[in-house]
Amino acid sequence: MIDWTAILAALGLSAPVATVLGIGLRFALPSLVHAIRVWMIDLALKRAGGQMFSILVAEGYTGGPVDPARLERLLATGVRYMQNRLGETLTKVGVSAEDLRSMVQGAFGELLAKAQASPAATPAPADGMRPA
């Protein structure tokens, strides 16, 4: 374990201040790391949904329901993307395979709902970049 008190004292903080900050860091750091992992999962879900929607549009999707076989292929692609990108993070947070599939399906469903609500406009890519 990192001795934050020694590090803070070496930076020139007085012993009482270094002790209080060191204890605070010791307790806050795991929560901060967990919050960052959850944020990374959320961001990757948006990207996976965007990737799946892009594949669907490239295949000629113009609206309406997606046939079950195509949906299964897209979900498998999204889950694979998430596992390749965040495999260890998903394990540390404790996301099961069923939960991951459900999360990916939900992210994709949100994009489909937005597309069907406004058929003239396609949703922006997940990374916030618009094509030129």
Q: What is the pLDDT of residue 82?
A: 92
Which pTM value belongs to this model? 0.68
Weakest mean pLDDT among 3-12, 31-40, 43-52, 95-104: 3-12
Neighbouring C-beta atoms of residue 90, cutoff 10 Å: 21
Q: Which residues contact 14 (CB under 8 A, 6 or more apart)?
A: none
pLDDT tens readout for residues 97-120: 999 999 999 999 888 888 877 755
* For residue 64, pLDDT beyond 70: yes
Model confidence at 124, in pLDDT bands (50, 70, 90)?
A: low
User: In the chain, helix, strand, coil percent, each to 5?
Assistant: 75, 0, 25
Angle among Cα 80, 83, 89 to the nearest 5 degrees reads 165
Q: What is the pLDDT of residue 113?
A: 86
Q: Which residues contact 92 (CB under 8 A, 6 or more apart)?
A: 37
